Structure 1
Amino acid sequence: MSLPSLAIFLALSYLIGSISGSYLIGKIFLNKDIRKFGSGNAGTTNAMRTFGKKFGIATFIIDFLKGFINISLVKIILNPSCDFLILCALFCVLGHDFPFHMNFKGGKGVATTIGTLAVINFYLTLYGVIIWIVVVILTKIVSVGSMSFYISIVFLYTLFGNYSDFTYIILIIIASLGIFRHNTNLYRLIEGRENKIGVKRK
């Protein structure tokens, strides 16, 4: 496949990724911009805290599906190498995190990352999700679970996968981006101010 064709698929991955579940739900059903409420983040956790559990779940599903469908279509249409699949995954996550039509102010990419990686290696990604859920249950802090997921997928893919150096590099970039997007959460964790599930901030 020619370089221009590959560039087109990367651009499409970014555009699909830029579809924001929380923004669409907020605008269509509540006529509200998610970025003006709560933490201002256009992701699942903020949607759940500000718009309610149903909207939060719907946001996660939309953001997961756009990643899953995007990489599935690339795989079906091109049958490319894993290197190109994970590169498309990165661009999809970049679209979610930095959507051009929202002044590059998007979410943190957890659901979209899960959706894209589920196509590349379903079981290793599932194990990462299980680790995420267990950590959230134990700590009652979503951000700790999310960052644990990003760290775990790097170790899981490295220990139990068989991929090229390029794929591992892109995976590390995706995980590092995800942790970086939680930088404000890290500051609040250090200061002991991070939100816990079921505990209202004083």
Structure 2
Amino acid sequence: RVGVLQDKAFTFYYPENLAALEAAGAELVTISPLADKQFPAVDALYAGGGFPEMHVAELSANQSFRESLAQRIAEGLPVWAECGGLMYLSRAIVMDGTAHPMVGALPVVVEHQARPQGHGYVEARVTGDNPFLPLGTTLRGHEFHYSRLQVKAEAPETILSLTRGTGIGDGRDGIRVREVVASYLHLHALGQPEWAPALVRAASGRRSLDRAGGMC
């Protein structure tokens, strides 16, 4: 069971990506961070793009959902997050000087800007260990985001080295925390055929661990 964040705040999913996950064996579960009160029982999460900044107050107000998702991530839930998903998993989204608390799974704060901070094609190479893709894998996709990370003295761990694109800055992208990989990169499954099977394998591995531990 692979959860997909999908409501008016999270709308950007290539249909081919969802079809590829199903073809790889996933049962997709639609999840709404706006309407659902608790994060459901799934084995992995695909947190795609959208416009969380347009619904930031509502997302922040749904504290029970945010906290239940944070707990599952702390327990080892595999998560692939793209752009809007990265923003939602951060500590907070800053809009017009006001910080709105988010899930807090990533050790970063995201600021929305008036102008695009990254726009165009992206090429990246996997340079760090992660739950999904082997070292040396080349990823190609695109980015289009108005947000950027607040500058902090201690940079988060990243697993992607960019040869093209902006990412989170300094030629890097792909924040890695526990079993989470979060980036500004949007992949297309037809151009990255190993992605969907990798996410489903991670979900299957998590399901096996949960069964061994007695979770249902």
Instruction: Name the TM-score, length of structure 2 as normaliser.
Output: 0.25
Instruction: Name the TM-score, length of structure 1 as normaliser.
Output: 0.26
The structure that is strand-richer by fraction is 2
The structure that is helix-richer by fraction is 1
Larger-Rg structure:
1
